[in-house]
Every structure is written in structure tokens, then in C-alpha cells.
Amino acid sequence: MSALPRIRVKPLTWTPHLAPVEIDDATPAQLAAMQVTPSAKKISPYVRTLAHDPESYVARTTLFNAIMYVEGGLPRQDRELGALSASLLNGCRYCANVHARQHAKLSGASEVIAAIWTGQMEKLDDRDAAIIDLAESLTCTPPVAETAQIARLKAAGMNEVEIIDLIHAIAIFGWANRLMHTLGHS
């Protein structure tokens, strides 16, 4: 078995296919959705692209933040691993890049990312392998996840509340990837 290489994932830049909302032309609802204030006028192209539909932008962002950052339950690095696995399968390079870096930062180690990047899945521990297994089987269309995947997570020490958190982290990237990848390029 070869040793895992040291991996440092470099950030990517995202560019929309469609013209984003310009702050000077934005409606009051769009400005409120983007949380534009006199001291915060610099809004990313991604946010300005989605702000064309301010109602869905606000609702989705609220849900996304709850799923990825709510306290308690599943450790954040595990949510990031679910997000990363979904993004890889959905072909969203930008999201995979962001969430690989988040996972490395939160876990304080890059071995998991190195194992995934180099296809050495046998080097993952049971818990990480079980997370990736659920993420992949839930992300494909139609989803093919079975109770065996749930049993595998429970055997790795995950309780029902944590599994509910993981299901949501995987599923919200079934949403986010379908915006980030389809509405722009990196």
C-alpha cells in the first residue's frame, strides 16, 4: 500500500452563466435577500445570481445554514464529508473543492481528503466509509440507499439524531450542486 500524499486543495473561482443582479438595479426584496447594507455592499456573484428570485434564495439559505451549522448532533466535519461526497457524485467541482477544504480545516487533518482524491478508499475508517456510502447511495437518481447503509452508520456509533443530520447534509447538496454546477462554471 502506498502512503497517502500530502494534499493541499487550492480554492477555485465561480463565474455565473447568467447576468447577476447589479446592486444598483436591485429591488428592495433583492437587497433584503442579499442583506445589502451601507457597510456591506460587496456581494458574491453567486448570491447576486440567485437573488433574481429573492424568496427562494432566503428560504434556501436559512435552511442550508441550519443544516450545516446548527449546534449539537452530528459533528460538523461529518456534515462536510457528506456534502463533499454528494458534490463529487453530482459533478460539482466547485462545491467539492470548498467542502474538501472545510473538512480538512474542521478535522485538522487532510488524510481523508487525500484518500478520496487518490481513490484509496480502503484507508478510510469505518465511520467515514459509512458516511460516504450513504452519501453516494442517496445522491444517485433514483436513490438506492437501503437499511443496510443505516445499520452500517449505527454500527460505527452514529445515533438516529446524527443520521437525520447526515441525511439533510447530503440532501441539501443535492440542491446546492444543482445550482452551483448548472448556473455557472469554475
Partner 1 sequence: MNKMSPSRPARDADAMDRAAGLNPRGAIFAARAGRPEFVDGAEACRVAVLSPQDDLGLSLPLRQAIARRAALSSGNPRLIAGYPAPDDAALSALAEGDTPTTPREAALARHTDLIAHEPGRSTAQDLEQLQEAGLSVAQVIAVSELLAYVCFEVRVAHGLALLEDAS
Residues that bind partner 1 (CB under 8 A): 17-19, 29, 49-50, 52-53, 55-60, 62-63, 66-67, 70, 73, 90-92, 134, 138-139, 141-143, 145-147, 149-151, 154, 160-161, 163-165, 167-168, 170-172, 174-179, 181-183, 185
- Closest to 21 measured CA to CA, from 47, 39, 41, 42: 47
Q: Say how many CA atoms lie within 13 Å of 166 toward its Cβ.
A: 28
With respect to partner 1, which residue has the nearer C-beta, 23 or 171?
A: 171
Write the CB contacts of 59 (distance below 8 Å, at least 6 apart in sequence).
Answer: none
- Other C-beta atoms closer than 10 Å to the C-beta of 68 total 20
With respect to partner 1, which residue has the nearer C-beta, 109 or 151?
A: 151
We find the least distance from the C-beta atom of residue 62 to partner 1, in angstroms, to be 6
We find the least distance from the C-beta atom of residue 57 to partner 1, in angstroms, to be 8
The rounded distance, in Å, linking the Cα atoms of 145 and 126 is 17
We find the least distance from the C-beta atom of residue 27 to partner 1, in angstroms, to be 9
With respect to partner 1, which residue has the nearer C-beta, 4 or 47?
A: 47
**H-type alpha helices, 35-159:** 45-50, 54-69, 76-89, 93-107, 111-117, 126-139, 147-155
We find the least distance from the C-beta atom of residue 66 to partner 1, in angstroms, to be 4
With respect to partner 1, which residue has the nearer C-beta, 34 or 176?
A: 176
